Copies of this chain bind each other. A is one copy, B any other.
Amino acid sequence: MEKVFLYDTTLRDGSQAEGVSFSLEDKIRILQKLDEFHMDYVECGWPGANPKDTVLFERIKKMKLHHSKVVAFGATRRPNRKVKEDPQVENLVKAESPVVTIFGKSWDFHVTEALKTTLEENLSMVYETVEYLKRYVDEVIFDAEHFFDGFKHNPEYALAVLEAAIRGGADWVVLCDTNGGSLPHEVYEITKKVKEKFPQAKIGIHAHNDSDTAVANSLMAVLAGARQVHGTINGIGERTGNANLCSIIPNLQLKMGMQVVPEESLRKLTDLAHFVAEIANVPLPRNMPYVGESAFAHKAGVHASAVLKSSRTYEHVDPSVVGNRRKVTVSDLSGRSNVVYKLREMGIEVDERSPELIKLVEKIKDMEKEGYHFEAAEASFELLCKRHFGLVRNYFDLDAYRVLIAKRSTDNTPVSEATVRLKVGELMEHTASLGNGPVSALDRALRKALEEFYPSLKEVQLVDYKVRIVNESEGTSAKVRVLIESTDGKRRWGTVGVSENIIEASWIALTDSIVYKLMKDEEEGII
């Protein structure tokens, strides 16, 4: 099986999608997840181009990745300037990532009109920048911007640009369909011509989805000899998005006989897709191929039972291979085995047919119907399971909470005040606190009540807080899902709460976060 290398640009191109904006912490979490997934290359940003990305690359230097190569993205040097005097190029070296990708123009029109320089000078810019960077980093990848449009207008020049990069020592030349206007047969033919012209070169493909064919364009390029595929998780990206890696990976691996990721990773594909959707706060379309909730849905009835009898003739692939599951109202088998698998991870061994397990699966399903989503809230899921098996101690009992928010026209900001009354053992604690908002007021009042009993709670910080309407057609009366991300310096965990009331949903996620911390400390003998 031939290897095709994956190149993820969710953190750069993906963050260009309308409505998506990743925080620093979001980016770190996604990078870690992609590393676990065995993504070959992860493009993290453009160091120097914006201060956020510079900080990110500083953070990355201290991280240990196991499977992915971090890529810094940038451009060729500016026209009429020495490469070593170009601060933008210097920032790429300073990022200290093992791989650098630079883009350069390959459409003659853009060279003269956008760059305002000569065709010759552009070739020097490409050659010199690649050659210079190769002295400092392991791998240099050259992105030929507007390659397909350029090739259609002036094939000689487009090829000359690639040649300059190859002469400079580029490890890969990547053909970018920047406007996303190319169709599969064109991508195939043009990529083939490139491969014929440069039989030794390693070629990549970078497709955008403006023609609704980005996945197909990527596959056709691989058929023509490309061995690196750029894309994003769920295809997020500016305009109509980038090529969707969640579709490309299984197509290549399951249908085209290519080696892409370990089978283990493939089984985590659906999880990865949901994870990124949650972090990006962009709901995953239920009809998304392979990973969507409806991707293997069968309407109940005759068809469904036929599917169960000989699924291979009704499903293009086995859903479990990509970590998804068949959705047929009559069967919950796949659900159970998933839960057994998760329980085993927590150290709980239980038989698939035990009544306890069946009850737990029912409970999970009910909660999912209510709007719970556990992909980004593993801590709440662990608590749910361990509570079900009586493995979580009762650290405190709520008696009451109350939050007041008030603002007058003369105030700049509203006042938020919370009171909490709870029992720890036989002791009743009643505390009050102000906060910047209702959730922080509640959080403070809750900690005030608990910290004297459980001092390690002082280590806990909330690092992220996300809210999503579950059934958005009803507006503010619909259910609200709150995701909280906490850390105690060593661990990081996510918890979830669902309610019609945003304060109650926050409260559920808050208390889960605190109980999880206490349970983990106890499991490790700290308290």
Contacts and interface: CB of A to CB of B under 8 A. Distances in A.
Interface of A: 16-19, 21, 23-26, 107, 109-110, 113-114, 146, 149, 179-181, 183-185, 188, 209-213, 215-217, 219-220, 223, 235-236, 238-241, 244, 247, 251, 255-256, 281, 285-290, 292, 294-299, 306, 310, 313-317, 329, 373, 375-376, 397-409, 413-414, 416, 435-440, 443, 461-469, 471-473, 475-478, 480, 485-486, 499-504, 507
A502 B403 CA distance: 13
Contacts of A462: 475-476
B109 A289 contact: no
A218 to B, nearest CB: 10
A199 B149 CA distance: 35
A192 to B, nearest CB: 12
Contacts of A292: 240
Contact of A223 (B24, B185, B239, B402): B185
Contacts of A480: 437, 465
A465 B57 CA distance: 33
27 contacts: A18-B376, A23-B473, A24-B473, A25-B472, A149-B313, A179-B316, A181-B317, A184-B184, A184-B216, A184-B220, A185-B220, A185-B223, A211-B255, A212-B215, A212-B289, A213-B213, A235-B287, A239-B287, A240-B287, A241-B287, A400-B406, A400-B408, A401-B414, A405-B501, A413-B504, A437-B499, A440-B477
B414 A501 contact: yes
B465 A501 contact: no
A438 B256 contact: no
A327 to B, nearest CB: 9
A296 B239 contact: yes
Contacts of A239: 287, 294-297
B314 A179 contact: yes
A352 to B, nearest CB: 21
Contacts of A216: 183-184, 212-213, 215-217
Nearest to A503: B405
Contacts of A467: 465-468, 502
A289 B240 contact: yes
A285 B239 CA distance: 11
A289 to B, nearest CB: 4
Contacts of A463: 472-473, 475
Nearest to A436: B500
Nearest to A327: B18
A466 B469 contact: yes
Contacts of A24: 472-473
Given A219-B183, A239-B297, A306-B114, A407 B401 contact: yes
A215 B216 CA distance: 9
A471 B21 CA distance: 12
Contacts of A477: 435-437, 440
Contact of A375 (B18, B107, B288, B398): B18
Contacts of A466: 281, 467-469
A238 B114 contact: no
A213 B215 contact: yes
Contacts of A285: 285
A251 B476 contact: no
A240 to B, nearest CB: 5
A130 to B, nearest CB: 24
Contacts of A211: 215, 247, 251, 255, 289, 316
Contacts of A468: 281, 466-467
A256 B236 CA distance: 27
B313 A110 contact: yes
Nearest to A316: B181
Nearest to A462: B475
A112 to B, nearest CB: 11
Contact of A438 (B210, B313, B405): B405
A296 B461 CA distance: 34
Most buried by B among A241, A376, A501: A501
A414 B464 contact: no
A286 B255 CA distance: 30
Contacts of A435: 476-477
B289 A209 contact: yes
A401 B406 contact: yes
Contacts of A223: 185
A212 to B, nearest CB: 4
A290 B210 CA distance: 7
